[in-house]
Amino acid sequence: MYLRVTLDSRLNWNQHLQKIIRKTQTTFALVRRTCGRKWGLRPSMMHWLYTRVIRPFIFYGALVWWPKVIQKITKIQLGRIQRMAYQAITGAMKSTPTAAMEMLLNLTPVDLLIVAEVRMALYRLHILKQPADPKTAAGLLSIWKNVSDPILDMRSDHTVPVYNYPKFFSVIIDVD
């Protein structure tokens, strides 16, 4: 494990994802015990907890392990976490459809948010001219090949700082 990202020999990210799921489920279990239907945390606090604490925890290191998000089983597992959050925020019954809660709360599915975060990080790299040729990038940066996003072709207002210190003075050292 390096910087809270669990690496395995094949880089399939199963261990890392399982660790994230376990920690988020534990966190939600602890939070659920602090509130009931008529007492405890308000829905706005549950919403804040999910969007400002849980989601950033899930997103951490996503630039490295984003290929795992494309797999169907991963989408299902991340969807379960998000469904737990939806039920905690709304107090809805277990039979309430996830899509209905998504629309009600105006929240995007986690897998789409992770890919969006990776796209924005790659756009910032593209602006800084880090990958020499984005269309031939290999390895983890292969998202360039999988993404046909017009945002990656946008122009940026990024400017390279130029430091120009003109010398308007002269130094005279008089030694007597």
Model pLDDT, residue 76: 92
- 4 pLDDT above the threshold of 70: yes
Angle at which helices 110-127 and 72-90 pack, to 10 degrees? 110
- Asked if residues 67 and 16 have their Cβ atoms less than 8 Å apart, the reply is no
Q: Is the pTM of the predicted complex or chain greater than 0.75?
A: no
- Asked if residues 28 and 83 have their Cβ atoms less than 8 Å apart, the reply is no
- 163 pLDDT above the threshold of 60: yes
More confident residue, 103 or 122: 103
Report residue 9's pLDDT band, with 50, 70 and 90 as the boundaries: confident
Average pLDDT along the chain: 80
* Portion of the chain with pLDDT greater than 90, in percent: 12
**What are the Cα distances from residue 47, in Å, to 27, 44, 80, 84, 101?**
14, 5, 16, 12, 12
3-state secondary structure of 5: strand
